[in-house]
């Protein structure tokens, strides 16, 4: 028995075998007899494409007969049973297809009939039965049979056995420029994809990535492998764009340009945005795909990466309007609802998913995000964990699971979870960003810088990341670098359609940088911008009071610090600064009294020359230096790890 070529697809395997069929099992020509046939007369074409299943038997038989020297060859009894079996399979009458397929196999003993009966069992979920049918010497040399047997074993979670059947490495490795003669997906590519799937199930993600890349390099039409690489973020942005340049789109024949544009829109949006925009525009203008849901979803991905949450949410809702339970759009949709505080819509979507997809990882993610939004962290952790167990390659579930530890200050657990996400998803910057934030909170500046710079190499335009890098350099007393990163963060944040509250921590941090650089006017300007956003922050009033003290504007300092204490009466920093301001003011007034003539001095009296009985003063010998007090103003020196601040700036 001849071995199938790995450069062909399963389209060459005919479900109908006439009495003139080739003796090479699973290698019958597409037209059944190896001669040119009008597609309208081709039985294989009719079975797959014709919506009219009520044609007369005579019409069916006439399409299945071929002419050889002007003589018609009638179908045998077995051929008619095969036609029955195949139509039942196409119409999802699996019990019928199994029943008739079993009788055909008993009548003929033909391995080809065993193969098609295995196809029916696989479609019906009977994976072990299908595997048993494909075991034996008749199937060992057939690539298509080995592929189906391996697929059955993967479904049965027998990954080592599956790799034994399909091979741990690609045994063909032929010239990939050989074109597929029938236009289908090359079996070699499908085998590489299945090999990657088996490795992925074994958590060998590096090996899985190489197998997926090999599959799409063998045949660009193997979208399954391409989708695994892109949707699971197995490659860095640079690797994704490099892979695109290596693909041979001629495998798609006259659809090569269309497929290249579609693949371009699927790539990471961290870089080459102009190329994406051009591809999207061409798909709209040249191919009329402007309303295609996958093209819209690619645009939603870009908006999400750019933190334009409201625009992304609007587009996601447009997609959901056309396809109510489009699972591909839901991670973006759910995250946008969380960012924008849409708790009611989160609850409704989670409830709807639980009704329709009770065992899907997206459902558990939705429930976890809802509980996280209403501050029920323990419940959220359970559902994020469930989602990650159902699909270990699902990035949002891992990141959400990690967030639950970070929200409770459990740094060690958070770091462990973020590190796992970083290993699983090298194509996104968020795990490394959050790792850097955790180490920054633990004051481990070396590891913090390592992870933050790793995230920066992937996504250099994230305002949250830029802010964290500014904080890192502030902690290192590298004020010029800190100022540079804060300014970049401010520029990046100003392009977003988020609430201005997202920018307040950046303005605050810049204020402290300029204070340390003794650029007091610039510092005061940034703190005043924060006040325009929020007038209830005691730390900002304290910082402004400190600036006025440094500028010698004692009266303004006292007035500002009184406002701070009206917000939080027992704030120690504001109290210390106010005591310092009052002492300075008293010292100035006493000096003025000593410098004045005696009659004027006896008549002079100020409202603060007789302080309140409850006001505490700091003696000259024990007073704290203003700069030491300033170091207690944590708002400007801490990273923006407050939940609300993080969620306003960053998507995940």
Q: What is the pLDDT of residues 399-453, one digit of tens each?
A: 999 999 999 989 999 999 999 999 888 888 999 999 999 999 999 999 999 999 9
pLDDT at 175: 60
pLDDT over 80 at 331, yes or no: yes
268 in Cβ contact with 298 (< 8 Å): no
Q: What is the pLDDT of residues 606-641, one digit of tens each?
A: 333 333 323 233 333 333 456 666 566 644 445 554
Which residues are CB-neighbours of 475 under 8 A, at least 6 positions away?
Answer: 440, 443, 445, 637
CA distance linking residue 381 with residue 544, whole number of Å: 40
Q: Specify the higher pLDDT residue, 576 or 14.
A: 576
Cα–Cα distances (Å) from 104 to 20, 39, 77, 456, 645, in that order, read: 18, 27, 9, 62, 68
646 in Cβ contact with 620 (< 8 Å): no
Domain parsing of the chain, residue ranges: 1-166
SS (H, E, C) 479-533: HHHHHHHHHHHHHHHHCCCCCCHHHHHHHHHHHHHHHHCCCHHHHHHHHHHHHHH
Rounded to the nearest integer, the mean pLDDT of the chain is 80
Q: What is the pLDDT of residues 247-262, one digit of tens each?
A: 999 888 889 999 999 9
Largest Cα separation within the chain, whole Å, is: 138
pLDDT-derived band at 142, boundaries 50, 70, 90: confident
CA distance linking residue 261 with residue 31, whole number of Å: 33
Mean pLDDT confidence for 115-126: 94
Residue with the two structure tokens 């002492």:
583
pLDDT over 80 at 576, yes or no: yes
pLDDT at 532: 85
pLDDT at 221: 93
pLDDT at 23: 39
pLDDT at 593: 53
- Least Cα distance to 314 among 86, 44, 95, 497 occurs for 497
Q: What is the pLDDT of residues 63-113, one digit of tens each?
A: 444 444 445 678 899 999 999 999 999 999 999 999 999 999 999 988 889
In three-state secondary structure terms, 72 is strand
Q: What is the pLDDT of residues 577-614, one digit of tens each?
A: 888 888 877 776 666 555 555 444 333 333 333 333 23
Mean pLDDT confidence for 344-370: 94
Fold of 1-166: 1.25.40
pLDDT-derived band at 59, boundaries 50, 70, 90: very low
pLDDT over 90 at 343, yes or no: yes
Burial of 71 (0-12, 13-18, 19+ CB in 10 A): exposed
Which residues are CB-neighbours of 386 under 8 A, at least 6 positions away?
Answer: 361, 364, 368
pLDDT at 603: 32
353 in Cβ contact with 364 (< 8 Å): no
pLDDT at 6: 72
pLDDT at 640: 52
pLDDT at 270: 87
Q: What is the pLDDT of residues 467-518, one digit of tens each?
A: 999 999 999 999 999 999 999 998 888 777 656 566 788 999 999 999 999 9
Q: Label residues 339-378 b or e (16+ Cβ within 10 Å = b).
A: bbebeebbbebbeebeeebeebbbbbbbbbbbbbbeeebe
pLDDT over 60 at 164, yes or no: yes
Q: Specify the higher pLDDT residue, 11 or 555.
A: 555
**If you write DSSP's letter for every residue of 439-457 in order, what string do you get?**
HHHTT-HHHHHHHHHHHHH
pLDDT over 80 at 320, yes or no: yes
Mean pLDDT confidence for 376-399: 92
pLDDT at 629: 62
């Amino acid at each position: 028995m001849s071995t199938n070529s790995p450069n062909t697809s399963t389209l060459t395997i005919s479900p109908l075998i006439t009495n003139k069929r080739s003796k090479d099992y699973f290698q019958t020509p597409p037209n059944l007899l190896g001669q040119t046939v009008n597609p309208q007369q081709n039985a294989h074409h009719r079975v797959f494409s014709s919506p009219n299943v009520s044609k007369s038997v005579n019409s069916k038989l006439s399409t299945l007969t071929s002419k050889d020297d002007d003589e018609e060859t009638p179908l045998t009894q077995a051929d008619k049973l095969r036609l029955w079996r195949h139509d039942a399979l196409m119409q999802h009458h699996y019990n019928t297809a199994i029943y008739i397929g079993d009788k055909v196999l008993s009548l003929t003993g033909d391995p080809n009939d065993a193969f098609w009966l295995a196809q029916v069992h696989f479609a019906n979920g009977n994976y072990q039965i299908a595997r048993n049918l494909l075991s034996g010497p008749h199937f060992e040399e057939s690539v298509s049979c080995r592929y189906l047997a391996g697929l059955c074993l993967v479904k049965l979670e027998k990954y080592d056995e599956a790799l034994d059947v399909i091979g741990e490495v690609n045994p063909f490795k032929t010239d990939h420029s050989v074109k597929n003669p029938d236009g289908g997906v090359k079996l070699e590519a499908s085998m590489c994809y299945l090999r990657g799937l088996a490795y992925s199930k074994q958590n060998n993600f590096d090996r899985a990535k190489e197998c997926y890349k090999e599959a799409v390099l063998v045949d660009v039409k193997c979208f399954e492998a391409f989708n695994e690489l892109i949707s699971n973020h197995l490659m860095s942005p640079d690797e994704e764009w490099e892979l695109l340049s290596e693909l041979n789109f001629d495998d798609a024949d006259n659809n090569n340009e269309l497929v290249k544009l579609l693949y371009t829109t699927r790539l990471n949006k961290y870089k080459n945005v102009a190329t994406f925009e051009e591809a999207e525009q061409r798909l709209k203008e040249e191919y009329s795909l402007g309303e295609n849901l996958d093209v819209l979803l690619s645009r939603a991905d870009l908006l999400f990466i750019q933190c334009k949450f409201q625009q992304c949410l609007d587009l996601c809702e447009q997609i959901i309007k056309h396809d109510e339970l489009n699972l591909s759009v839901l991670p973006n949709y759910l995250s946008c609802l969380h960012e924008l505080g849409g708790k009611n819509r989160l609850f409704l979507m989670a409830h709807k998913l639980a009704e329709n997809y009770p065992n899907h990882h997206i459902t558990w993610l939705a429930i976890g995000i809802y509980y996280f939004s209403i501050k029920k962290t323990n419940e959220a952790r359970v559902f994020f964990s469930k989602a990650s167990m159902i699909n270990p390659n699902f990035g949002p579930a891992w990141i959400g699971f990690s967030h639950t530890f970070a929200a409770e200050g459990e740094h060690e657990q958070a770091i462990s979870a973020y590190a796992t996400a970083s290993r699983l998803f090298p194509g996104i910057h968020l795990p490394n960003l959050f790792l850097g934030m955790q180490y920054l909170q633990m004051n481990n500046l070396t590891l913090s810088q390592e992870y933050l710079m790793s995230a920066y190499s992937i996504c250099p335009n994230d305002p949250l990341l830029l802010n964290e890098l500014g904080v890192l350099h502030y902690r290192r007393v590298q004020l010029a670098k800190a100022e540079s990163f804060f300014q970049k963060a401010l520029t990046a944040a100003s392009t977003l359609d988020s609430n201005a509250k997202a920018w307040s921590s950046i303005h605050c941090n810049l204020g402290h940088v300029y204070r340390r650089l003794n650029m007091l006017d610039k510092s005061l300007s940034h703190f005043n911008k924060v006040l325009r956003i929020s007038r209830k922050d005691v730390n900002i009033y304290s910082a402004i009071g400190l600036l006025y003290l440094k500028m010698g504007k004692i009266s303004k300092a006292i007035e500002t610090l009184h406002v701070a204490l009206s917000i939080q009466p027992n704030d120690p920093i504001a109290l210390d600064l106010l005591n310092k301001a009052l002492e300075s003011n008293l010292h100035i007034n006493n000096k003025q009294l000593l410098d004045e003539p005696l009659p004027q001095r006896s008549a002079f009296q100020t409202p603060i020359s007789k302080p309140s009985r409850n006001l505490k003063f700091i003696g000259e010998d024990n007073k704290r230096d203003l700069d030491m007090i300033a170091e207690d103003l944590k708002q400007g020196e801490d990273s923006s790890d407050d939940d609300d601040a993080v969620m306003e700036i960053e998507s995940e």
